[in-house]
């Protein structure tokens, strides 16, 4: 790596390369579809080139918005970041039900000694088991 390339820029380049690797197959597929349309329906080369060019420009313009999804860990850090998060019960936990963390709805289970937990109560995530959250009521 060059001395003038900062670790931040190198990371951005790797993320951009990853983004391109995911987007390039759609460009190839669109090219094939456009070639078929040129041959079968009389689509002209300039129109096909314009469509393909606009499609690629659209993907490049979306990179700043989608970048976080292509960073290692998907930008979220994984489900382990849910441990310790506060949730609101959206369907009574008796002992299983549903909780809401931000805009997401998760299946959750509380220990039988704490069940039932009513709708609207606050709970804290203590463990993640696949797509099921283990929660416990928060004091107060």
pLDDT digits (tens, 9 = 90+) for 32-51: 999 999 999 999 999 999 99
- Give residue 52's Cα distance to chain centre: 26
**Cβ(125)–Cβ(135) below 8 Å:** yes
Low pLDDT (below 50) residues in the chain: 1, 75
CA distance 36 to 50: 16
Q: Where are the beta strands (DSSP E) in the chain?
A: 86-91, 96-101, 104-110, 122-129, 132-137
Q: Residue 93, SS3?
A: strand
What are the structural domains, with CATH classification, of the chain?
7-75 (no CATH), 79-137 (2.40.50.140)
Give the pLDDT score at 1: 46
Residue 33 neighbours by CB distance under 10 Å: 14
Question: Which of 118, 125, 134, 55 has its CA nearest to residue 87?
Answer: 125
Give the pLDDT score at 65: 86
Give the pLDDT score at 3: 52
Give the pLDDT score at 58: 95
- Tokens found for residue 16: 């951009």
Give the pLDDT score at 124: 95
């Amino acid at each position: 790596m060059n001395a003038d390339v900062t670790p931040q820029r190198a990371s951005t380049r790797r993320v951009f390369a990853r983004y391109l690797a995911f987007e390039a197959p759609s460009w190839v597929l669109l090219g094939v579809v456009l070639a078929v349309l040129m041959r079968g329906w009389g689509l002209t080369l300039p129109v096909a080139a314009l469509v393909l060019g606009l499609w690629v420009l659209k993907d490049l313009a979306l990179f700043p918005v989608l970048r976080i999804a292509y960073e290692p860990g998907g930008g979220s850090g994984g489900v382990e970041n849910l441990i310790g998060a506060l949730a609101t019960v959206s369907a009574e936990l008796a002992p299983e039900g549903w909780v809401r963390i931000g805009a997401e709805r998760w299946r959750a289970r509380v220990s039988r000694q704490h069940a039932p937990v009513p709708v609207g109560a606050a709970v804290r995530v203590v463990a993640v088991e696949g797509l099921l959250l283990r929660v416990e009521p928060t004091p107060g």
